[in-house]
Amino acid sequence: MKKMLRYVSLSSLIIVSAALAFAPAGSAQSGAAPAGKGSFSIPRTPDGKPDFTGIYQWPTYMPGDQRGKSSATTFDPKYFAPLKPGGEAFLEPRTGDMRHDEPRDFCMPAGLTAGMLSANAMQFFQTKNYLTIVHEFQRMSRIIPLDGRPFRKDIEPTYYGDSVGHWEGDALVIVSTNFKRWMLDDYYYTDPKQYRMHSEALTTTERLEWKDKDTISYLLTIDDPKIFTKPWSQLFQIKAKPEWDKVGLYEYVCEENNRCPGGKCQGN
Amino acid sequence: MQSGIIRSILLAVTLSASGTPLLAHHSFSAEYDDTKPIRVTGVITKVEWQNPHVWFYVDVKGEDGKITNYAFSGGAPGQLMRRGIMKSALIIGSTITVDGFKAKDGSTNGYGAKVTFPDGRMVFTSNQGEQEKH
């Protein structure tokens, strides 16, 4: 596992470096429309596409939606589609084995969709052919092709899946598939009797649209045919935080001082 | 500065009202008991301003004069940094009061939610403020 973790860290570094190298000189936020809802115009790249480059808060709840006990955002069960017979594994209980219950205690990755919903800053870098998302939590890095290429074939499933993006008008739609079976969100901390997992059949669809100069709407659709009878969606909002750009994202090397391996926290 | 103090007071009220912090990663619920709040005053002996969570250590003098070293964990450095809480907030040798939650195992580990200095300044070393702020 150590070897794998080293690989993840090195990969993240390379990805971040690549993202910085490809980042456009301007920023969506610095070039955003003047204040006032009436005068808002979508920031755009030179080729006319909506520009999502900028620094943001993680996706947060819409008013009225149920909040979890974790600082991370979690799904509100009112949006869930009915479970399929056998889909109850989605709500399987904790086992007491932290490798199952909370693998992040061993610095294992959060994966999608839990990684995107973690309570840390994230930064987007957009070019004509890529959107790169760097999330501070575990330095999650996603390089999402926007050039119309298909999913990669014949590769092992991964924690963050394989993503491709396309444009539907001014909406950027990111579809991801080929996941390992892994945690869906942070619900672990809200209800000790339930633990939300997705299956390896998961496909996620993320739909991003500028709503005003400070807000991107983020519609997350979960299509997991081994668990749910049909796809379901929850709308979140992503708030621009240009003031966070002063300090930026901080390094997140979980292995550095993980004093809680396996849920056993120990100082000194 | 004033707005920062007001925000801290508001956060303190929020913390008291809810009784429990918003939980961090790394097994707060498994390790710490949100029904067992703890308040200690002592001298900072060590600070680990590192990922995945900051840790700071405090020598606390008991009624019998015996010194016990408590270890408190808090939020991630990046989360604290964006709230203006930098490493310099916790200086070795300074006296602080820590409000937090005890470890379930009865050890001297704890979750340090709030630090108060002798002059009344407060900082939240948990990741609570990251969500409450927005």
8 Å CB contact of B81 and A247: yes
Q: For residue A12, what is the enclosing H or E element?
A: helix A2-22
What is the domain count for chain B?
Answer: 1
Touching check for A258 and chain B: CB below 8 Å?
A: yes
Instruction: Say whether B78 and A257 touch across the interface (CB within 8 A).
Output: no
State mean pLDDT over A152-162: 97
Q: What is the C-alpha separation between A106 and A210, in angstroms, rounded?
A: 37
- The number of domains in chain A is 1
> CA-to-CA distance for A136 and A245, rounded, in angstroms?
13
Closest CA–CA distance from residue B101 to any residue of chain A (Å): 13
> For residue B54, what is the nearest residue in chain A, using CA coordinates?
A257
B95 touches chain A (CB under 8 A): no
Instruction: Give the model's pLDDT for residue A144.
Output: 98
**Mean pLDDT calculated for residue range A183-199:** 83
Residue A152 lies in a domain: yes
Express as a percent the part of chain A with pLDDT over 90.
64
pLDDT for residue B126: 74
Give the structural domain span for B85: 2-132
| pLDDT for res B27 | 56
Kindly state whether residue A28 falls inside one of the protein's structural domains.
no
Look up the ipTM and state it: 0.72
Query: How far B58 CA lies from chain A's nearest CA (Å)?
Result: 11
Determine the average pLDDT of the residues in A190-213.
Answer: 91
Q: Is the pLDDT of residue B68 over 60?
A: yes
Interface check for A265 against chain B (CB to CB < 8 A): the answer is: yes
Q: Do B26 and A239 touch (CB under 8 A)?
A: no
B73: contact with A, CB 8 A cutoff: yes
How confident is residue B128, by pLDDT bands cut at 50, 70 and 90?
A: low
Task: Indicate yes or no: CB of B73 within 8 angstroms of CB of A264.
Answer: no
Q: What is the pTM of this model?
A: 0.80
Residues ≥6 apart with Cβ < 8 Å to A129: A145, A146, A147
Amino acid at A38: G
Length of chain A: 268
Task: Domain of residue A198: give its range.
Answer: 56-120+142-244
Rounded-to-integer distance, Cα A151 and Cα A225, Å:
19
Rounded Cα gap, residues A68 and A72, in angstroms: 8
Gap from A154 CA to chain B (nearest CA, Å): 34
- Residue B71: which CATH number? 2.40.50.140
Q: Look at residue A116 and tell me if it is in a domain.
A: yes
pLDDT-derived band at B15 (thresholds 50, 70, 90) equals: very low
Mean local confidence (pLDDT), A208-236: 97
